[in-house]
Chains A and B, each alone.
Chain A
């Protein structure tokens, strides 16, 4: 479904990604792990169209998409969920969903039902300002918002960052419900989460992919993952 080949990305003169390659199959849940500054977010932003690579290619469903505008990438079925729980805080939860439903012409009722399907509690918050939600609820709203319009691939940046253990469980439940139904690339530093859910893991350090893991034994072994941090 998605194939990233020899991607090199720079911010000005500072090279951030060095020959990064990865692939994602249909329905696969791929995790990218690594310490801060490893280039994980840069990689997601490049796939989503927010950054232009110097060289290399991003191929989605046999179509080269590097350099494409983010809104065009979104129309192909790739949605990027930013880190930092960036909801539209001045709008209500329902309005956040309306904005997501508008470009894909999805009925707002269907859109709301879809989000309720992954997180029933959100029904209570529909008319609340999104800015008043807790960190976990914001994250679920962002994931739900990105699910509107039948996307094929979700890129989620640090979904559990800064959340309490109980809230992380809510996020995990949401991710479990999505597993197998949609392709996902998730940047995550919480290796327990990675071990629990990943079908494939890429460990990144200093802008490079250090290791690709696909075997369940390798992925579920936290000590094995930590070796590459």
Chain B
């Protein structure tokens, strides 16, 4: 059971890293961004491509990948997302889904459709309470905690963070003070995309890398965001770990229901706490 919980916390950590960007984009721009899943997939593919170049140094490969998605996410934000501000949410779904479909085809064209396995970059197991857990998974949990603390400090202490928090509540009031809110939303979008790519990088050694890997994780991330609250940094953190545990524990007893259970939990939460858009 401890192994299952450790796995659940690992999934929770990755879900948090992926979902926080989605939550902020959803919360600030009111845009359902399917392209977030594509960035996650691109992150994983960039890692497996660059690892041989960096002599299999996972950290340098991960850093390179996170930086490499900045121009990609900038292009998506500047030429697609920005045109969807204030437009009906349906258009955002269709437009960003189209980006995903184009992106998946490009991935298949460049890397092929076959799943590519990636081995554990640390390859060391540690024993905790007489249970053996891969160190890599513990590192993911610690990293997600570090990201949570860093983002919390960023949004509390920096002017960009405060403007985003204010705009989450009242975008027009921020604009009335002479602040170009869209510029700050772009920053949020790029930070979120970098984290999505990092999620792809971290999950690649746990699963296999394939063109559709972003689709399922995106739907689960939406569940995390809806349960945690749009733009709610702390809520997304708690929700990611709870749903990660739900997936792992359900999967232990009945594998096929692991992901379904996430959406059942989401449905129950939405009954008692409807979303405010």
Which residues of A does B touch, CB under 8 Å? 48, 50, 69-71, 74-75, 79-82, 86, 88-91, 95-96, 98-100, 102-104, 145-146, 149
Hey, which chain B residues are within 8 Å of A95, CB to CB? 162
- Contact residue among A50, A69, A86, A104 (Cβ-Cβ distance under 8 Å from B170): A86
Q: Which of A71, A100, A104 has the most CB of B within 10 A?
A: A71
Other CB < 8 Å A-B pairs besides A71-B178, A90-B165, A90-B169, 12 of them? A48-B176, A74-B175, A74-B177, A75-B178, A79-B177, A86-B170, A86-B173, A90-B166, A99-B159, A102-B159, A102-B179, A146-B176
Bound-complex Cα distance A133 to B163 (A): 20
Bound-complex Cα distance A100 to B172 (A): 13
Cβ A74 vs Cβ B176 within 8 A = yes
Q: Mark B215-251, 1 if CB is under 8 A from A, else 0.
A: 0000000000000000000000000000000000000
- Contact residue among B162, B172, B176, B178 (Cβ-Cβ distance under 8 Å from A91): B162
Hey, which chain A residues are within 8 Å of B169, CB to CB? 88-90
Hey, which chain B residues are within 8 Å of A90, CB to CB? 165-166, 168-169
- Interface range on chain B (Cβ under 8 Å from partner): 10 to 19
Bound-complex Cα distance A88 to B164 (A): 11
Within 8 A of A (CB), among B133-184: 159, 162-163, 165-166, 168-170, 172-181
Cβ B172 vs Cβ A98 within 8 A = no
Bound-complex Cα distance A91 to B167 (A): 11
Cβ A103 vs Cβ B177 within 8 A = yes
- Closest partner residue, chain B, to A92 (CB atom): B162
Hey, which chain A residues are within 8 Å of B176, CB to CB? 48, 50, 70-71, 74, 79-82, 146
Cβ A149 vs Cβ B173 within 8 A = no
Bound-complex Cα distance A75 to B179 (A): 9
Cβ A99 vs Cβ B174 within 8 A = yes
The prevalent SS among residues of A at the interface is mixed
- Closest partner residue, chain B, to A80 (CB atom): B176
Cβ B172 vs Cβ A70 within 8 A = yes
Cβ B170 vs Cβ A149 within 8 A = no
Cβ A50 vs Cβ B159 within 8 A = no
Cβ B177 vs Cβ A99 within 8 A = yes
User: Given A71-B180, A88-B170, A89-B169, are A99 and B175 also a contact pair (CB < 8 Å)?
Assistant: no
Cβ B166 vs Cβ A91 within 8 A = yes
Bound-complex Cα distance A81 to B173 (A): 8
Hey, which chain B residues are within 8 Å of A86, CB to CB? 170, 173
The prevalent SS among residues of B at the interface is helix
Hey, which chain A residues are within 8 Å of B177, CB to CB? 74, 79, 99-100, 103, 145-146
Cβ B162 vs Cβ A104 within 8 A = no
Cβ B162 vs Cβ A103 within 8 A = no
Hey, which chain B residues are within 8 Å of A50, CB to CB? 172, 176
A-B contact pairs, 20 of them (CB 8 A): A48-B176, A50-B176, A69-B175, A70-B176, A71-B176, A81-B176, A82-B170, A86-B170, A88-B166, A90-B166, A90-B168, A90-B169, A91-B162, A95-B162, A96-B166, A98-B162, A99-B162, A99-B177, A102-B179, A146-B176
Hey, which chain B residues are within 8 Å of A98, CB to CB? 159, 162
User: Given A82-B173, A86-B173, A88-B173, are A104 and B178 also a contact pair (CB < 8 Å)?
Assistant: yes
- Closest partner residue, chain B, to A45 (CB atom): B172
User: Given A50-B172, A88-B170, A88-B173, are A149 and B162 also a contact pair (CB < 8 Å)?
Assistant: no
Hey, which chain B residues are within 8 Å of A102, CB to CB? 159, 163, 179
Bound-complex Cα distance A69 to B183 (A): 14
Output the least CB separation between A175 and chain B (Å).
19
Cβ A88 vs Cβ B165 within 8 A = yes
Hey, which chain B residues are within 8 Å of A146, CB to CB? 176-177
Hey, which chain A residues are within 8 Å of B166, CB to CB? 88, 90-91, 96, 99
Bound-complex Cα distance A149 to B179 (A): 13
Bound-complex Cα distance A157 to B181 (A): 22
- Closest partner residue, chain B, to A96 (CB atom): B166
Hey, which chain B residues are within 8 Å of A104, CB to CB? 178
Cβ A99 vs Cβ B172 within 8 A = no
Output the least CB separation between B13 and chain A (Å).
26
Output the least CB separation between B164 and chain A (Å).
11
Bound-complex Cα distance A98 to B180 (A): 16
